[in-house]
A and B are shown apart, each in its own frame.
Chain A
Amino acid sequence: EIVLTQSPGTLSLSPGERATLSCRASQSVSSTYLAWYQQKPGQAPRLLIYSASNRATGIPDRFSGSGSGTDFTLTISRLEPEDFAVYYCQQYGRSPWTFGQGTKVEIK
């Protein structure tokens, strides 16, 4: 099983600042089969990024993903008030699929 470790656990930032979230895999993720999701309290997760760097439909371009192999990054270039949420990475290159434990982006 591929274990995904996200860091930091919590990121305290102000609106307008840049957020950099990390996701590290215990083994190489096949063909960059990695996704990022955003989840707000009481809501279902929402797909932001797939294949490590492709934005899903309707996702603003302030969200970007990068990385390959075992190291992946989600960057939010300028935080908007609606971006404060929990973010999860997920690998789907090898079964069982696995999620990281999440990074909470909170208002400083």
Chain B
Amino acid sequence: QVQLVESGGGLVKPGGSLRLSCEASGFTFSDYYMSWIRQAPGKGLEWVSYISSSSTVIYDADSVKGRFTISRDNARKSLYLQMDSLRDEDTAVYYCARVKVPHYLADGMDVWGQGTTVTVSS
């Protein structure tokens, strides 16, 4: 079935780095825009970044610009988020999600992973 599975979360010290992965199955991964969204403990959803199907279009939220890098490997059906210079306020559950319509940015996100938890603390 259509599925996204995140991994790579954990405990990291402020200033440290972490790389999240999101593995897709059940659909043609290379056809879809993908996105990362996060949710701090007890808080709402915050969009983080998106990437086009061919990696030619990338956009990041101001809160992570210059520190986080989204990428993908279509051959491996995987989406990544490289997180550097981590701060306490980056502590959150990180979700990957698929944009609903193939090759199209402007649509809702219809498939979500279960999330992976990142904790930034000394």
Please list the residues of chain A having a beta carbon within 8 angstroms of any beta carbon in chain B: 1, 30-31, 33, 35, 37, 39, 44-47, 49-51, 56-57, 88, 90, 92-93, 95-102
Contacts and interface: CB of A to CB of B under 8 A. Distances in A.
Q: Return the 3 tightest CB-CB contacts between A and B, nearest first.
A: A50-B108, A35-B108, A44-B112
Interface stretch (B13-21, B43-51, B75-83): B43-51
Interface residues of B, number: 23
B110 A56 contact: yes
13 contacts: A35-B108, A35-B109, A37-B45, A44-B113, A45-B37, A50-B108, A50-B110, A56-B108, A90-B45, A92-B107, A96-B60, A101-B44, A102-B44
Nearest to B6: A44
Contacts of B108: 35, 37, 47, 49-51, 56, 90, 92
A98 B100 CA distance: 17
A37 B112 CA distance: 11
Given A44-B95, A47-B100, A50-B100, A96 B47 contact: yes
Given A44-B95, A97-B50, A88 B45 contact: yes
Interface of B: 35, 37, 44-47, 50, 59-62, 95, 100, 105-110, 112-115
Nearest to A86: B44
